[in-house]
Amino acid sequence: MAGYTDVVFRALCTSFGCDLCCTEMISAKGLTFGNAKTADYLALGEDEDTIAVQLFGHEPDRMAEVVRLIANRLGPHLRCIDINMGCPAQKIVSNGDGSALMRTPALAGRIVEAAKAVSPVPVTVKFRKGWEEDTCVSFAKVLESAGADALCLHPRTRVQQYRGEADRSAIGEVKAAVRLPVIGNGDITNGESAVAMLRETGCDGVMVGRAALGRPWIFREIKAAIAGTPYTEPTLSERLNVAIRHAERIEAVKGPHGLVELRKHLPRYLHGIRGSGALRTRLNEAKNAAEIREFLLDSLRNITI
């Protein structure tokens, strides 16, 4: 997820059982232009052995060039290439990238073919239910014919953005229409909804986005639900200690700028905690991870779940 799934957050998700974490989406154009910030997205975390790299772009030749570049740079640490054909953001679709490719399926197919021709690892595609109409089944077939190795569907249209409910039936329809592994995404918020997604759609795996923010232990919950084993929600102290780990790691990896980025994450760890308003304000004023640790541990005396 752009702005969130950096090396630090991915490491937390992995530690709680996430099987495959993806980089933030990376501009194919930015990489070929040697943009240093873009290249930073390819860094592996301390405990990360392999990563899935997500790219966006609309030019088949450039996609091939970038896949080659990434494969050379990451070698055995590259697990798969995922191509973003789902992003609804105006600044992305106005260039013909992200979900705009659902309006140009032939071009989408050529992009997958170009990536596949040079990729030493599987090429997957993340897409939506459609642009405005439901076109995901025909789109999935184009991607399959082009050689995609797996598909991930977020079943809302671009026009819907994030409104309304994810339409699980569309995932079932895509699964029934292709022979590829299909990963279901959208509105998974706990173990129960992950199991329901698998059962109702026949999909092969699930992808979690927003519900992992401030709750990276959701992967442990989902795995327990799938395995049918007991799961205990972390205590308040355990939750806050995950937030502390997040703060300490992001400071170690990114320095003071990391703490600015952390401001997006911290309130999410406090979601649903009564009396955490004053703590949020205090955390925003923290000068370093040591202060964040101090404020969070201090708060354990005053707040409850």
Instruction: Look at residues 119, 92, 123 and name the one whose alpha carbon lies nearest to residue 29.
Output: 92
Could you tell me where the beta strands, DSSP code E, fall in the chain?
A: 26-27, 51-56, 78-85, 123-130, 150-157, 182-185, 205-207
Residues 194-223 that bind ligand FMN (CB under 6 A): 208-211
Q: Can residue 25 be called a binding residue for ligand FMN (CB under 6 A)?
A: yes
Judge whether 293 and 244 are in contact, CB under 8 Å: yes
Question: Quick one: which of 187, 203, 217, 247 contacts ligand FMN (CB under 6 A)?
Answer: 187
Is residue 126 involved in binding ligand FMN (CB under 6 A)?
yes
Range 42-61, binding ligand FMN (CB under 6 A): 54
Contact flag: residue 246 with ligand FMN (CB under 6 A): no
The answer to the question of residue 89 lying near ligand FMN (CB under 6 A) is no
Query: Catalytic residues, which ones?
Result: 87
Residue 276 binds to ligand FMN (criterion: CB under 6 A): no
User: Of 83-91, 138-146, 195-203, 234-242, which part binds ligand FMN (CB under 6 A)?
Assistant: 83-91
Cα–Cα–Cα angle for 111, 116, 121, rounded to 5 degrees = 130
Closest distance to ligand FMN from the beta carbon of 15 (Å): 19
Looking at the DSSP bridge assignments, the partners of residue 130 are 157
- Which of 2, 71, 236, 253 binds ligand FMN (CB under 6 A)? It is 2
CB of 301 to ligand FMN, least distance (A): 33
Q: Which backbone phi and psi does 138 adopt, to 5 degrees?
A: -65, -35
**Range in contact with ligand FMN (rule: CB under 6 A) among 84-92, 113-121, 196-204, 281-289:** 84-92
Residue in the block written with tokens 């205090």:
282
For residues 56 and 295, which CB has a smaller minimum distance to ligand FMN in the complex?
56
* Contact between residue 285 and residue 262 where contact means Cβ atoms under 8 Å apart: no
Nearer to ligand FMN, 2 or 253 (CB): 2
Please choose, from the candidates 46, 40, 41, the residue with its C-alpha nearest in 3D space to the C-alpha of residue 24: 41
Helix axes 277-284, 256-269, angle to 10 degrees: 170
Q: Which residue is nearest to ligand FMN (CB)?
A: 209
The answer to whether 183 and 147 are in contact (CB under 8 A) is no
Contact residues for ligand FMN, defined by CB under 6 A: 1-3, 24-25, 54, 84, 86-87, 126, 154, 185-188, 208-211
